[in-house]
Amino acid sequence: MTTSLQGHVTTTTMDSPIGVLTLAARDGLLVGVHMEAQRHPPTGTEHWHRDDVAFGEVIPQLRAYFAGELREFDLPLELNGTPFQCRVWSALREIPYGSTISYGELARRVGNERASRAVGLANGRNPVSIVVPCHRVIGADGSLTGYGGGLDRKSWLLAHELEHGKIPS
């Protein structure tokens, strides 16, 4: 897995209802949406360069999401991880806005119903939170478990989507 984003990575920050987000891009592709004090922060950030104009549609789409006006992101992404992690992250993008599934269901969707723990670990390493909606995965009993950005943020994101779930895409 590539946890360090090497090469020409540009960053910017934006305020959001869940705190300041740090956005990272390489060659026009979004490679990171990071929250303050998240469980798995990116490494190699000493090589990142600030560029507040390099993010095209990323900031407008995130603002529209937080305003309850956008249900599905349309952004070019580069997701760096193991093949298993990339399958999990791809499956996350299939979970509809305002919906949740369990870790076990996500494991079934990636082809190994006994891999819910591995799915949870991959979910926690999602480098592009919110855009790749890892917050939509919950415990089998419906409880909010395991979110790298903190359960308070996960709860906020799910409540936000439930509140705005009737908006047409």
DSSP of 100-140, one letter per residue?
-EEHHHHHHHTT-TT-HHHHHHHHHT-SBTTTS-GGGEE-T
Entry pTM: 0.87
Q: Is residue 134 flagged as an active site residue? A: yes
The segment(s) of the chain belonging to CATH 3.30.160.70 are 9-66
Q: Is the pLDDT of residue 30 over 60?
A: yes
Task: Answer whether 132's CB lies under 8 Å from 77's CB.
Answer: yes
Out of 43-47, 96-100, 108-112, 163-167, which region has the weakest mean confidence (pLDDT)?
43-47
CATH architecture of the domain covering 83-163: Orthogonal Bundle (1.10)
The segment(s) of the chain belonging to CATH 1.10.10.10 are 83-163
Average pLDDT over residues 118-133: 93
74-91: per-residue pLDDT in tens? 999 999 899 999 999 999
Options 88, 95, 131, 134, the catalytic residue: 134
φ and ψ of 8, to 5 deg = -80, 90
Distance CA 1, CA 85 (A): 8
Q: Domain 9-66 belongs to what topology? A: Double Stranded RNA Binding Domain (3.30.160)
| The two structure tokens encoding residue 57 | 């549609």
| The two structure tokens encoding residue 8 | 């020409």
